[in-house]
Copies of this chain bind each other. A is one copy, B any other.
Amino acid sequence: MTERLSPEDLERRLRQIGDERYHNLHPFHKLLHGGKMDFGQVQAWALNRYVYQSAIPRKDAALIARLEDRELRREWIHRIHDHDGIGDDDGGIERWLRLTDGLGLERNYVISRAGALPATNFAVEAYVRFVYERSPLEAIASSLTELFAPAIHAERIAGMLENYDFIDDQLVAYFRRRLDQAPRDVTFALAYVLEHARTIEQQQAVLGALTFKTNVLWAQLDALYHAYVAPAMIPPGAFRPEGR
């Protein structure tokens, strides 16, 4: 990329990153949604993904801590409420814990992250740090994986309900809610990025930020795949499904 892109071309490049790198392409994802996982593997996925879910409000707060524009802070803060809840709404993390409850995982064990894979923690913390250390524009661009999320959530809900008798409608409440939330959020974030990434350097930076974020997601599925699918080498101290 040697020339400044039009907003349309920039959007096309951003979407192309999703086509090539989003974690719906990962073998773990296909196995999970295709009903090819056993109970312990689904547990391991939910347990590790909790680490990511529970860090999202910290990531969004890290961005808000960088924003000097009050209007932008006011716009962004509902994302924290979406995950942490506010008032009577328990929020997305609680919905995720209902999934791990339903999968028979001890809540304190899940919240402690004691059984999560080290690579999961590293990837997630790299994301929080990225948002705090890079420019707000890059931080906002890194949220654009939500462009690709609704398709994966819809696929996940259908695939998991159909293929696993231990998954019921209540357990996929997190994903159902995200079907509404993610498109609203990403419409704002995409418009922001297209408007503010004006120079070629900024455009390269936002493309890099989205690529980074796809890596954060991909690395988490890599870690799960290598530990729980094949060759199933679970690192010391990490969650061990019964009988392994």
Interface residues of A (CB under 8 A from B): 54, 57-59, 61-68, 70, 73-74, 77, 80-81, 84-86, 91, 93, 128, 132
Contact = CB atoms under 8 A, between A and B. Distances in A.
Given A58-B66, A61-B64, A64-B58, A77 B77 contact: yes
A77 B86 contact: yes
Contacts of A84: 70, 73-74, 77
14 contacts: A54-B68, A58-B65, A61-B64, A61-B73, A62-B65, A64-B64, A65-B65, A70-B84, A70-B93, A74-B84, A74-B86, A77-B77, A77-B84, A77-B86
A68 B77 contact: no
Going nearest first, the 5 A-B pairs with the smallest beta carbon separation are A61-B64, A62-B65, A61-B65, A61-B61, A58-B65
Nearest to A93: B70
A68 B53 CA distance: 12
Contacts of A91: 70
A178 to B, nearest CB: 18
A54 B68 CA distance: 8
A132 to B, nearest CB: 7
